[in-house]
Structure formats: C-alpha cells, structure tokens
Amino acid sequence: MIPMTFEITERDKKLLYFLVVFAIVIGLGFGVLRPLLEKNQEVSQQLADARIEKMDKETKIAKIPLLEQSVASLEEELADIQGSFYEETSSMEIDLTLTGMALACGLGVKDLDIDMPQPGGYVSLVGYRAMLDSYDSEQKASGIDFPGAYAAKITMILNGSRSSLQSMMDSCASLEPKLRVTELSWQKGKTEDSYTLSLSMEFYMYENVTEYMAGQAAAAEAAAAEAEKQPEDSLTEE
C-alpha cells in the first residue's frame, strides 16, 4: 500500500492563515459587539425614561403658577365662607361668649350646658323632605354630614325682663348662621315683668384646614390598609 502524502502549498498556507484570522476576528467582534448592543439598548431605554420624566416634571413645574393662583383664590373664598362661622372654640370660650352676651342684655344665667362635638363628629343636617318623611314614619331622619364644620349643642336658661330677653334673642339672631337657635320657650316668673327663657342653640365652628387635610389623609390611609387586609383575610379563611 502506497502511503498518501499531502503537500501544503504556499497558497494553502495563506488561505488557512486567512481563515484562522477571520475566525478570530469574527469571534472577537461578536464578543465585543454583543455587550455594546446590549449596553446601547439599556442606555437608550434609560435616556428615553429620563426624558419622559423630565417632560412630566417640566409640565408640572409649568403648572405651578396656575396652581398657586388657584390656591390663593380658594384660600380667599374659604376665608369668606369661614367668616360665617366661629373658629374652633373650647367650651370655656363658648361659655364666656354666651354669658357675656346675656350679661350685656341685663340677664341672669340660671343654667348653661354645652355639649361639645367629638373629633370627626361633623355637622349633620337633615333635609326638609327627609324631615317631613320622618314625621310620617315616626323614624328619626338621617342627615347629611358636612366634613370641615363642627357644631356644639347648647342649652341655656336665662332670667330677666321681657325686653332684656327679647334683646338676647335679637343678639342671637344677628349672629346666624354661626349661632342658630333651634328651640325656645318662655315662662312667666313670680314677679311682674319677670320671665324665664329656655334656649337650645347650635354653635357652628369651622375646622382648621391643615387638621382637616391630616384627617382626610389618615382616613384614606386607613381605608387603603383595610382594603389590603381583606384579600389576606380571605386567603386565611380558605
């Protein structure tokens, strides 16, 4: 058997060298190119996100002057509205206010009871239709709550002349709607021109806006926490 021999020519050597170099270049190129492409994709996405965020913030910043104008306008409007009510007032301050009114009219204060509202116990008003329906059904009508306003319920018994008592009622009427008489009754005294007047009143106060916002935020957080808790409770039951 005649052994076979292969002779590598100079041309073959050059071709093999070229193929080896080409393979190395392709391999190196892929190893370098792929990370670059991946990095390009990552940075391009980050840049796009950054530009979107920048545009969003620029839009919000552009709205700041309008928002400031809106806040100023609403603050002015709220101040006008709150001028119809008292600021948040303690029971002692209410006592001093009403006692001072009575003394200024020449009356004696026989009794004064002040029932202060509880935190979150906002004003609740019953509509006229609901009030009429409650008379027909003999069931207590439910009112509509108005967050941001409180009312202290007051019972006051006064002694004095008829003219003095009338002056007191006129003074109370002049303060509406911040002070509203809800019920009254007269009773003749034992001496001439001596009367007793029983008054039921509501003393309306507005809530500090900062405290109102804090209360609303706390209520929203509590509602969100309760909503998150419900799915967990249902899974536990299962």
Residue 12: pLDDT band with limits 50, 70, 90: low
Asked if pLDDT for residue 130 goes beyond 60, the answer is no
- pLDDT tens-digit map of 62-111: 888 888 888 888 778 877 877 888 888 899 999 999 999 999 999 999 99
pLDDT score of 144? 66
Looking at per-residue pLDDT, the higher value among 228 and 56 belongs to: 56
- Rounded mean pLDDT, 175-200: 87
* Interval 193-211 mean pLDDT: 85
H-only helix segments in 83-186: 91-104, 128-137, 162-174
Q: Which residue has the tokens 């009356």?
A: 107
Higher-confidence position of 143 and 145: 145
Round to the nearest angstrom and report the end-to-end CA distance of the chain. 85
| Cβ 154 vs Cβ 176: under 8 Å | no
Task: Give me the mean pLDDT over the 115-142 stretch.
Answer: 61
- Strand order in 108-115's β-sheet? 108-115, 149-160, 195-206, 179-188
Pick from 179, 174, 178: which is nearest to 200 by CA?
179
pLDDT at 1 over 80: no
Q: Is the pLDDT of residue 14 over 80?
A: no
Q: Which of 170, 172, 162, 171 is nearest to 197 (CA)?
A: 162
Fold of 91-212: Alpha-Beta Plaits (3.30.70)
Lowest average pLDDT, out of 42-46, 160-164, 192-196, 203-207, goes to 42-46
DSSP 191: S
Rounded CA gap, 125 and 74, in Å?
A: 24
Q: Please tell me the predicted confidence (pLDDT) of residue 128.
A: 42
Q: What pLDDT score does 23 carry?
A: 61
Question: HSE-up of 145 (CA within 13 Å, CB side)?
Answer: 5
Q: What secondary structure letter does DSSP report for 176? A: T
Q: Using pLDDT thresholds of 50, 70 and 90, give the confidence band for residue 207.
A: confident
Between 2-16, 142-156, 191-205, the lowest mean confidence (pLDDT) is in 2-16
- When mean pLDDT is compared across 54-68, 138-152, 214-228, the lowest value belongs to 138-152
**pLDDT score of 7:** 62
pLDDT at residue 113, rounded to an integer: 96
Task: List the chain domain ranges.
Answer: 91-212
What is the dihedral angle through the alpha carbons of 4, 9, 13, 16, rounded to the nearest 10 degrees? Answer: -60
What is the greatest pairwise CA distance in the chain?
A: 158
